[in-house]
Structure 1
Amino acid sequence: MDLEETKLPGVGLRHDFTTARGRRIGVVSQRGGDRELLLYSQDDPDACHAVVDLDPDEAEVLAELLGQPRVVERLARLREQVEGLATEGIYVEPGSPFDGRTLGDAAIRSRTGASVVALVRAGEVLPSPAPSQRFQAGDKVVVVGTQEGVRATADVLANG
């Protein structure tokens, strides 16, 4: 399946694709986190038949319904295969000492032995975030390690 990405200056990004049944669908991801689900007309592929406005919470619910937590599910299956491996999604809460700071600043791997394998922000999964990736309040940080390491990571993100 081909996914087209179009930059929308001052707005964000638009992603479009065509389903196996020939329906063209798009999503506009605005900088503020809002999303628009676009259903293009079957008669004119450049005209929208319907637009559904979604706030960040609604977009996250829709993403979960459509399978966004696949990364976490796959890690859960891996955990079942490897004894002693724990996987957890830990939220960066408002007021966290790492809200606005980078993954590198947190030094999670060296401090806890656990690894950050993904970041979920506004319904989008960012796999293998770089050390320069900045945390934001509301981010879900997907961590893999021992149960002790995962707990220690939650403590680091909450208390520094």
Structure 2
Amino acid sequence: MNLKETDLPGIGKKFVVETKSGDKLAIIIHDDGRREVFHYDRDDHDEINSLVTLNDDEARYVSAIIGGITYKPTALENIEVALGDLIIEWYRLDPQYKAIGKTIGDLRIRQRSGATIIAVIEKNHSKHINPGPDLLLTSDALVVVLGERLHQQQIRQILLSGIS
């Protein structure tokens, strides 16, 4: 995702978002609280396909829905399963993750975070159940981790930073 923020003197702020899927949105937040959301054509980012205008209350309500406050989807990449204090989370190793190209052992994940990688699903769908320390983490792999919330925060940082 790519985000650009621009001040609009006398009007408010403009945010332009380009998603991984190729969509482009522009969101203008007016000083009076009104929001305008523009959705651009995928093939021509100068052509507007649709415009939605929301007042402040509507915008906050829609943001809560999109943010998952009213409903949490169970998509594979985002699912959390509560097991008492234990949580299973899935992390997609997008290209910005520095752990790519390192092994589980290199990163000392269990020792540093207290979390356990219980599975790794490669981009080609090959599965490594209860992987050992020699498993190399690859781009776009899905890493399934078991741990408490603090452990999950720590492992996310380890996967992002790749520091061993």
TM-score of the two chains, using structure 1 as the length reference: 0.48
Give the structure with the higher percent helix: 1
Rg comparison, structure with higher value: 2
Scaled by the length of structure 2, the TM-score of the pair is 0.47
